[in-house]
């Protein structure tokens, strides 16, 4: 088990949804400095508004495509979290950009970390590498059944870490996230955006829309649990290993929408429409390996987690309204 005392930690993509929660939780650790690198394309300074009040936090605007900047930030850094990536939507419509950021950018991170003598990196991979489930729960030995550009870029990243561990003994742990939701989530996560879209419809007094029959099932995990898994992975002795990060609980879209209707006190009935393109329709991960080697088990039940999303969303909308009133 690693001691993070007096360490300097670089969080790449630290202004994003998951990254900002990692920064928040790192502040409870005895670290010396937390450097956040983000290009603010998806991450926001608002996500770091509380963390930035701590003098140990330094925010740098920049990209993992900038090798000189990466080399400079890696100097004197003990540990790195690498979360920066273009997501599934961009990978579909801007595949070359996805290649430059997710693949070449990740190689830049791995190379710079090795050259600077970084002690360990935690890499944010994705359950997208598995594609549709061949068997459930999916263990980490599940075949790479991926058929998306996003999943392909994550597989490439995983292979870079494996190769550098083999050749240079670079210490790392990779996390394959299931479907993350929670405060600060946006509308761009293909599988979780259903939560925000359903809440939008309920707010407007319109029936939430379910595509297909609603039997599509996913493994939803709260962002606070995901951030905790990252810090446990950094501290753990486990190296050169990949871990599923999920609840290990299958939830259908029908069940999810029903919960959101109950939480918001709505009596609307879902409206079913023909199935649009879906990249994956069935996914739930085994949690055993993360439990055994990282000591990680998710704690936030889905209903409690969805309450946190509804509360955050209401507060966020109030804050935006207040800002527009001031600006106006």
- Residues classed as catalytic: 150
Sheet containing strand 172-177, edge to edge, reads 57-61, 33-38, 8-12, 79-82, 120-126, 172-177, 241-245
Name, in order, each residue with C-beta under 8 angstroms of 243's C-beta and a sequence gap of 6 or more.
140, 173, 174, 175, 176, 229, 233, 289, 290, 293, 294, 296
- Given CA atoms 317, 309, 255, 139 in this order, what sign does their dihedral have? positive
Q: Report the C-alpha dihedral over residues 147, 150, 300, 312, rounded to 10 degrees.
A: -130
Q: Which of 147, 226, 242 is nearest to 179 (CA)?
A: 226
Alpha-carbon distance of 145 to 241, in angstroms, equals 19
């Amino acid at each position: 088990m690693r001691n993070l005392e007096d360490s300097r930690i670089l969080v790449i993509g630290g202004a994003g949804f998951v990254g900002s929660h990692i920064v928040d939780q790192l502040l409870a650790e005895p670290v010396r400095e937390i450097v956040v690198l983000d290009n603010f394309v998806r991450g926001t300074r608002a996500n770091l508004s509380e963390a930035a009040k701590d003098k140990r936090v330094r925010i740098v605007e920049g990209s993992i495509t900038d090798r000189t900047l990466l080399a400079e930030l890696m100097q004197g850094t003990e540990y790195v979290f690498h979360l920066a990536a273009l997501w599934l939507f961009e990978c579909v419509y801007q595949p070359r950009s996805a290649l430059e950021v997710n693949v070449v950018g990740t190689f830049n991170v791995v190379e710079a970390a090795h050259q600077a003598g970084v002690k360990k990196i935690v890499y944010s991979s994705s359950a997208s590498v598995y594609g549709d489930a061949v068997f459930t729960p999916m263990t980490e030995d599940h075949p790479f059944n991926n058929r998306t550009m996003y999943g392909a870029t994550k597989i490439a990243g995983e292979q870079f870490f494996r190769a550098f561990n083999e050749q240079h003994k670079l210490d790392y742990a990779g996390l394959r996230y299931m479907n993350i939701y929670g405060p600060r989530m946006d509308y761009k996560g293909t599988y979780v955006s259903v939560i925000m879209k359903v809440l939008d419809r309920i707010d407007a007094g319109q029936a939430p829309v379910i595509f297909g029959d609603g039997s599509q099932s996913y493994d939803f995990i709260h962002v606070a649990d995901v951030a905790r898994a990252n810090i446990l992975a950094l501290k753990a002795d486990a190296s050169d290993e990949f871990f599923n990060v999920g609840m290990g609980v299958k939830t259908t879209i029908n069940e999810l929408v029903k919960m959101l209707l109950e939480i918001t006190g709505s009596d609307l009935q879902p409206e079913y429409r023909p199935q649009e393109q879906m990249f994956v329709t069935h996914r739930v991960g085994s949690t055993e390996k993360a439990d055994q080697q990282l000591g990680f088990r998710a704690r936030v039940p889905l209903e409690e987690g969805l309450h946190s999303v509804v509360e955050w969303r209401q507060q966020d909308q109030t804050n935006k309204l207040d800002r527009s009133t001031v600006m106006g």
